Structure 1
Amino acid sequence: MSTRRLPTYYLSHGGGPWPYMEGAMRGRFDKLERALLAIRQEWGTAVRAVLVVSGHWETPEFAVSSSAFPGMEYDYHGFPEHLYHIKYDAPGSPELAMQVRAMLEAGGIACGSDHERGFDHGTFSLMQPLYPAGDVPIVQLSVRQDLDPQTHLSVGRLLAPLRDQGVMIVGSGSSFHNLGLRGPVAVEPSRQFDEWLQQTLLQVSAAERRQRVVGWTQAPHARLAHPQEDHLIPLMVALGAAEEETATLVYHQPDFLDSWALSSFRFGKLSG
C-alpha cells in the first residue's frame, strides 16, 4: 500500500472519443494530450487504482461501477462508425467499488453498485492517454442527479482517505460545457467564467473557495458556461477530498475548438 498522499484532480476531458481520432481533428487535442502526459509524470508509480467521478454518468443516488471487466459506453453522437467499436481494456476493481460504497454509506450518503456500467467517454478519454496499456484498475463514481454542490463536496470529504491508499481521485468534466455556444459569441463568456474559476480555485482562502464554488451560479456567465452543471459538479468531489489544500493549474487552453477557454486543476501538493 502506498504511503504517499496523492493529490486529486479536476480535469477537462475534451470532446468525444478524441484519443482514437485521426487526422486534423485529432490534432486539435494536442495541447490537452501534452498536459495529460505531464500529469502522468506527477503520479509516478504511486497509483494503484483510479476513481473517476464522471460527468457523463448521472444517477438518482450515487453509484459505483463494480465490474471486474467493464465494457464501453459509446455516449457520443455523429462520429465515424469505427469510433463506436473502440475498446479500452483496463480492469475494474470490485474491491475498490465496495470500499467506496461503504465509505459513502458510513457517512450517511446512499450509494449503489452497477455491475453493467462500462467506461464512458468522460473516463476513457482521459485514461487512454494517461494509461494507454490499460494496466491500472479504474472505478467510476456517478454524479447524483440533483447536482447539489454541498453534497458532492461531502462525498469528496468522505473519500479523502483513499488518497493515502494509492487511489487517485479524478473529477472528469469540462470547465466550460455549452455545446450550443461556439464560435465568436462564446469567446468572452468562456474567458470570463474561466477567469472567475481560476481566481476561485487558486487565489482565495479555503473557506472562501468553498463558499464560491457552492455559489458558482453567481459567477460571470455561469449559466452560459454550464446550462446544466453535470460537467462542473465532478470538481466538487475532487475539491472536497482536498479542500484545505492548495490548487494548481495543470492545463489551460484559451481557444479550445477556437472558442472555449478550458482549464484543469490539481488539489494538493506533490510529494515523494
Structure 2
Amino acid sequence: MQQPVYFLSHGGGPWPWLDGPFRDGFAWLEASLKALPAQLPARPRAVLVVSGHWEEPGFTVSTAAQPGMVYDYYGFPEHTYHIRYPAPGAPDLAEEVVRLGAAAGIAIGRDPARGFDHGTFSMLQPIWPEADIPVLSLSLRADYDVPAHLALGRALAPLREQGVLIVGSGFSYHNLRQFGAGAAAPSAAFDAWLRHTLLDLAPEARADALLTWDQAPGARACHPREDHLIPLMVAIGAAGADPATCIYSQSDLRGGVTASSYRFGPDTTPSGFDRIGQALAEA
C-alpha cells in the first residue's frame, strides 16, 4: 500500500528530552507528530529521512545497520548529549536507494558511519518512541540546487509503493538570529505563500513555483540559508501529483514565528493541528 510523503518542521535541538518552557513551546508541534501514525494506511516498512542537518558535496545515504547519534546542537543540558534513539538502520533499503538514483542518472554515495542527527531523532521520538521501525538517512546536496532535489524525490518515489515513508525534515522557518516578535511578519508572509503554493497550485505549478522560492515574500528573512527548506523539494518530487494537506501550523511559535508541516497523499482530511486554518475558518 502506497505511503504518503511528509515535510515536517522538526523543532529545536533535543526538545523531546527537555522539560519546562522550551519544551512547552513545541506542544502543538508535538501533538501533530504524535497524530501522524494514524494518518498512514499501514505501518511503514521503513522511514527514509532527508534531514536539513546533513549535507554533503553529493547525495549520500546512510548504510549502518545500527546507526549512532549525531549531537549537532550546543548549549543544552548534559543529559541531552547521551540520549539514544535506537532504531535500526536499513542497509538493504540503502542499496535500493542507490539503485533508484543510478537509474535516474543521480549518483548517491554511501556512508557506513553516519548516525541520526536531531533533525531525525527529535522528529521521530514523538512519532515512534519505541524506535522499532528501521530508519535510514539521506543527505542534502550542499549546493541546495532545487531541480536536483526535486529530481531526487522523483527517483525515489517508487519506494512509497514498497511501504517506505519518505520524510523531508526541516523547518518552514529557520533563522536562528531572529525569533520572537521580529519574526512574526516575515514568517507569516512566507508561510502564506508556501501554503498557497502547496495547497492551491497544481502539482507541476507548485514545483515550478518552488524553483524561485527565494523571490517569495519574506523568503530570505525566513531562510538566510535554505538547508531547512530544501528537504521540502525532495518531498515534492516524491509526492508526484498527490495533493497536499497542512497537518500542523501555528503563528505563535517561539514568541511569534509562523511554522507549518505538510502531508502529500490522496487523503486530504485536516489533522486538527492547524491554528491558522482554524482562525481563518472562524473569521
Q: CA deviation at 1:214?
A: 1.0
- CA distance in structure 1 between the aligned counterparts of 2:178 and 2:245, rounded to whole angstroms: 28
Among candidates 101, 118, 122, match of residue 115 of structure 2: 118
Q: CA deviation at 1:26?
A: 1.5
Whether 1:27 and 2:24 are equivalent positions in the alignment is yes
Q: Deviations over 1:10-65 (max 9, x none)?
A: 00000000111122322111111110111121125331100000110000000001
**SS at the partner of 2:12?**
coil
Whether 1:84 and 2:44 are equivalent positions in the alignment is no
- Say if 1:6 and 1:270, in contact at 8 Å, map to a contact too: no
| Mapping of residues 94-243 of structure 1, within 5 Å | 94-243=91-240
- CA distance in structure 2 between the aligned counterparts of 1:89 and 1:197, rounded to whole angstroms: 34
Q: Deviations over 1:153-172 (max 9, x none)?
A: 00010000000001000000
- CA distance in structure 2 between the aligned counterparts of 1:34 and 1:206, rounded to whole angstroms: 28
**Residue type of the alignment partner of 1:231:** H
- CA distance in structure 2 between the aligned counterparts of 1:23 and 1:199, rounded to whole angstroms: 34
Q: CA deviation at 1:243?
A: 2.6
Worse-matched range after superposition: 22-31 or 165-174? 22-31
Report % sequence identity. Answer: 54
CA-based RMSD of the aligned residues comes to 1.1
Unaligned runs of 5+ in 1: none
Worse-matched range after superposition: 45-54 or 21-30? 21-30
Residue 8 of structure 1 is matched in structure 2 by 5
Residue 276 of structure 2 is matched in structure 1 by none
Equivalent pairs, count: 268
- CA distance in structure 2 between the aligned counterparts of 1:42 and 1:184, rounded to whole angstroms: 33
**SS at the partner of 1:72?**
coil
- CA distance in structure 2 between the aligned counterparts of 1:159 and 1:150, rounded to whole angstroms: 14
- CA distance in structure 2 between the aligned counterparts of 1:64 and 1:48, rounded to whole angstroms: 17
- CA distance in structure 1 between the aligned counterparts of 2:212 and 2:241, rounded to whole angstroms: 18
**Residue type of the alignment partner of 2:55:** E
Unaligned runs of 5+ in 2: 269-283
Whether 1:68 and 2:69 are equivalent positions in the alignment is no
- CA distance in structure 2 between the aligned counterparts of 1:24 and 1:218, rounded to whole angstroms: 35
Q: CA deviation at 1:179?
A: 0.4
- Say if 2:62 and 2:111, in contact at 8 Å, map to a contact too: yes
Residue 39 of structure 1 is matched in structure 2 by 36
Q: CA deviation at 1:186?
A: 1.0
- Say if 2:181 and 2:257, in contact at 8 Å, map to a contact too: no
Q: CA deviation at 1:133?
A: 0.7
Please, what TM-score do these two structures have when normalized by structure 2? 0.93
- Say if 1:66 and 1:115, in contact at 8 Å, map to a contact too: yes
Q: Deviations over 1:169-218 (max 9, x none)?
A: 00000001000012222110110000000000001122221111111011
Whether 1:244 and 2:244 are equivalent positions in the alignment is no
**SS at the partner of 1:241?**
helix
**SS at the partner of 2:35?**
helix
- CA distance in structure 2 between the aligned counterparts of 1:49 and 1:168, rounded to whole angstroms: 6
Q: Deviations over 1:90-149 (max 9, x none)?
A: 000100111101111221111111111000000001111111011000000000001011
Please, what TM-score do these two structures have when normalized by structure 1? 0.96
